[in-house]
Amino acid sequence: MKKTLWNDGWKFWKEENAFSLVWSVPENAREVTLPHDAMLEEPADPESKNGGNTGFRSGGVYVYVKNLCPSKEDLAGELSLFFEGVYMNAAVYVDGQLVARRPYGYSGFATDLAPYLHAGKESEIRVIAKTGAEPNSRWYSGGGILRDVWLLTSDRTHLPYEGLQIRTEEADDTLAVLHASIEVKNNAPVSKTLTAKTVIRDRERAICAKEETKLFLTPHEARTIGQRIAVQHPALWSDETPVLYQAETELFEGETLLDSEETAFGIRTLSVDAVRGLRINGRSVKLRGACIHHDSGILGAAVYYDEALRKMKKLKAAGFNAVRMSHQPAAPAWLRACDEVGLYVMDELTDMWNRCKTDYDYGLYFEDWWERDAAAMVRKDYNHPSVILYSIGNEIPEIGTDQGSAIAHAVAEKFHRLDETRLTTAGINGVFAAGDRVPEILQDLAAKDGNEGGNVNDFMTVMDTRMDEIVVHPAISQRLDMACEALDVAGYNYMTARYEKDQKERPNRVLVGSETYPPEIARNWEEVEKCSNTIGDFTWTGWDYIGEAGVGVPAYHFGEGGFGAGFPCQLAYCGDFDLIGNRRPASYYREIAYGLRQAPYLAVQDPAHFGEKLIKTPWVISDASHSWTFPGMEGRKTIVEVYGRGYEAELLVNGTSRGREKLTPPGAGVIGNRALFPVSYEPGTLETVLYDEKGQELGRDRIETTDKPEGLSARTEDLQDLYFIRFALQDAMGREIDTKAFDTELRITNTENVTFLGLGSGDPKPLHNYTERVTKTFLGTALAIVRLVDPDREGSLTAKTAEGGKITVTVKRREKI
């Protein structure tokens, strides 16, 4: 199957009229290159029906048009388009004739064009995405053709797209036995005698194994053949050794090559049990996981391989070895990046089944479409060694009911039939699953306190203080027994208190913390290491995202952050990384909790709010930042947080010790591996020293007060196609500014030979849209993303600050990876 990327040359517009008798291309249509997020192009609106779900952005009816003029030779074979993802309610037309629909915005789908085309005649391909029925998502969905589009051509007798699947039957350092499953279709009107030849190439492209199979197909027959192939001395894929191989299958009739298909894959084995836990290639692995939403930061929901690769590299370098795609099937580009970097993946089918979570979401279509969407997900994932877990759903309210458990069984078994090599799970929220038994739980808690009853309206308050008691309640235990029946691994969202309990009471149940609170990582990880049946922890979240506005924003007045956050708050702000890829204090805290960082880490709470009550959700640690620059706050009290995996920490201000404090051990209801120091702010240096129980130094961390900005620096990260330019304010000594106090407007004033894709910062309350050429720095930094127009020439862009700082960045051409 020949694949041609079909992303260029589309005409796009937002349709205002629901019906038009004559289809045409309006004058306001403009040319766009895919992937394209139409929702991002309009500014956030406080009146959006989506509210904070999408960061106050609204959808619409998005239309894409491109013409295709096939030759007689083209139509003598197969000709189709493959869309990796169109959000949502996609319809594809050829000259006004419907050829395909797909309600789910995250599933790939193919459209057979040949029956509707004529040789030598230009035909219009029209794609319509409808996102205007709102709300339809709990997070920023984006809208339009968000992922790559491929033109697929082949002979009538061919190897279907994604029809080559490689499975590792067994493997060790001396030998791997692979099974190649190869789909072959003969759409010709005559019988065919064929030969399928497969070669396996290593990372140096050398052939290390091969096999061939003879077959006879009658007219219009389709068959899947199997080949068993041995590879000697294989390099096994894992998070530590992400080595990829290439499988190539060619289909011959006699000496004539009819078609070919190829795929990257990794050689690895996977097993799990409650005693030895998760094992990759026979080695026990604990998953240090990050939940991540699907958006690409300031690029919106448009998916670019380079953005995914940059993100995965940063997550891996910060200590993660796994990601959970929350809560939809991952784009192929994301999985390719995880394969390359070495990150295990939990891919997820959906956020809802038959009970909608918003008025017009996938719950309206689940019953009719889930089998096709599950099949598309497995077909996409099969050859990616990074994928080890299929999640059948996230926080499904009905999963513990009689009908829900039957659906769980059906969905899990569908995945098992399609792919027997991977494990099934679900992100189960015990409180959601309890459903109509919440009043019973409240009654029992009230009885414990000597009260007569409990009010359901008080449940959120009770959850904030007594979550551990709630999640171990017998009502939740009973619902979990129903929900987990069909799962290989029980995914527990926010139920750390159950890990040790279920290891004793359900000794053969394998668990994973599928979603957990950032402040609890020290306690969570201690439980993960202690319980052999618990294979890992996935924090919410690894990377900040658009939508669910304010859930991680610390606030001191209602409406500024938290659950009540209003406009202009547009980001969740609960990621270990901010939206543009800067590490936040939670990231270093997590690295310490994992035991991957020996040095302590300093974070300082804002002295402007000392003594005030912090309004925070369970995803917020504090308002602390890694800064000792608070102009105008001299002499004001503040709290210095020291994170460390040691016995005690000493704090020094300008070289003078302010005492030692023991670090809090991990435990329920506390932020472990942390010491707090109340001090007065004095510009200069802040330093901490970490000690063990014997008084031996384990490490240090230090922050300096910076002066006001005197310049602007730029650092370019170039990958394969995109260039990520990180701007940072600097003082006269060349130190990066790390405070909000000096944040300023940054404007792109000139570009040459570059296409501007986005500009923004990590600010959860941005003043400008990411498609504008102006932003305000946040904690001193901002990010621009561009690509070269002519890749054979250098490009440049100039950035200026409101205070007159200026820098010109040269974007250099380079060889493709």
Q: Rounded mean pLDDT of 266-282?
A: 98
How many whole angstroms separate alpha carbon 726 and alpha carbon 724? 6
Report the chain's C-alpha Rg in angstroms. 28
Quote the pLDDT of residue 466. 85
pLDDT at 459: 64
Residue 742 banded pLDDT, cuts 50, 70, 90: very high
| Whole-number pLDDT of residue 668 | 83
What value does the mean pLDDT take over residues 583-599?
A: 98
CA distance 330 to 328: 6
Structure tokens at 63: 């239309």
pLDDT tens-digit map of 543-562: 999 999 999 999 999 999 99
The residues that bridge with 540 in the sheet, in sequence order, are: 291
Predicted local distance difference test score (pLDDT) of residue 490: 98
Sheet containing 30-32: order of strands = 30-32, 10-15, 61-68, 123-130, 90-94, 97-102
Residue 512's contacts (CB-CB under 8 Å, 6 or more residues apart) are 287, 289, 346, 389, 425, 489, 490, 491, 492, 534, 535, 536, 537, 538
Average pLDDT over all residues of the chain: 95
Q: What is the pLDDT of residues 284-318, one digit of tens each?
A: 999 999 999 999 999 999 999 999 999 999 999 99
**pLDDT: which is higher, 434 or 604:** 604
- At residue 443 the predicted structure's pLDDT band, cuts being 50, 70 and 90, is confident
Which tops the pLDDT comparison, 815 or 746?
746
* Residue 817 clears pLDDT 50, i.e. is over it: no
Q: pLDDT tens across 129-183, in order?
A: 999 999 999 999 999 999 999 999 999 999 999 999 999 999 999 999 999 999 9
pLDDT, tens only, 479-498: 999 999 999 999 999 999 99
Reported as a pLDDT band with limits 50, 70 and 90, residue 461 is: low
Q: What pLDDT, on the 0 to 100 scale, is given for residue 719?
A: 82
Mean pLDDT for the stretch of residues 713-734: 94
Low-confidence winner among 32-41, 462-471, 717-726 (lowest mean pLDDT)? 462-471
3-state SS track over 33-90: CCCCCCHHHCCCCCCCCCHHHHCCCCCCEEEEEEEECCCHHHHCCEEEEEECCEECCE
Least-confidence region, from 20-29, 96-105, 648-657 = 20-29
Ramachandran class of 95: left when φ > 0, alpha when ψ lies in -120 to 50, beta otherwise:
left
Whether cis (ω within 30° of 0) applies to the bond prior to 541 is: yes
pLDDT at 302: 98
Alpha-carbon distances of 659 from 330, 460, 641, 689, 701, rounded to whole Å? 49, 39, 13, 11, 16
Q: Report pLDDT digits (tens) over 22-78.
A: 889 999 999 999 999 999 999 999 999 999 999 999 999 999 999 999 999 999 999
Residue 242 has a CB neighbour count (10 Å cut-off) of: 19
What average pLDDT score do residues 329-334 get?
A: 98
Confidence of residue 458 (pLDDT cuts 50, 70, 90): low
Q: Hey, how many other C-beta atoms are within 10 angstroms of the C-beta on 501?
A: 14
> How far is Cα 253 from Cα 251, in angstroms, rounded to an integer?
7
The reported pLDDT for the residue numbered 676 is 98
Q: Above pLDDT 70, what percent of the chain?
A: 98
Listed in sequence order, the residues at least 6 apart from 299 whose beta carbon sits closer than 8 Å to its beta carbon are: 37, 40, 307, 757, 758, 770, 785
**What are the φ and ψ backbone dihedral angles of 508, each rounded to 5 degrees?**
-105, 5
Q: How many CA atoms lie within 13 A of 591 on its CB side?
A: 20
Token pair belonging to 287: 């998953």
Take residue 174 and report the two structure tokens written for it. Answer: 């001396």
Arithmetic mean of pLDDT, 448-469: 69
**In which residue are the tokens 């920490």 written?**
649
**Calpha distance 518→447 (Å, rounded):** 31
The pLDDT, as a whole number, for residue 756 is 97
Residues 6+ apart with CB under 8 A from 205: 246
The answer to whether residue 450 scores a pLDDT higher than 90 is: no
Phi, psi dihedrals of residue 509, rounded to the nearest 5°: -85, 125
User: What pLDDT was estimated at residue 103?
Assistant: 98
Instruction: Give the pLDDT score at 18.
Output: 66
Burial class (CB in 10 A: 0-12, 13-18, 19+), 474: exposed
> Of 797, 757, 815, whose CA–CA distance to 307 is shortest?
757
Tell me the HSE value of 496 on the side-chain side, using a 13 A CA sphere: 26
Chain segment 334-366, per-residue pLDDT in tens: 999 999 999 999 999 999 999 999 999 999 999
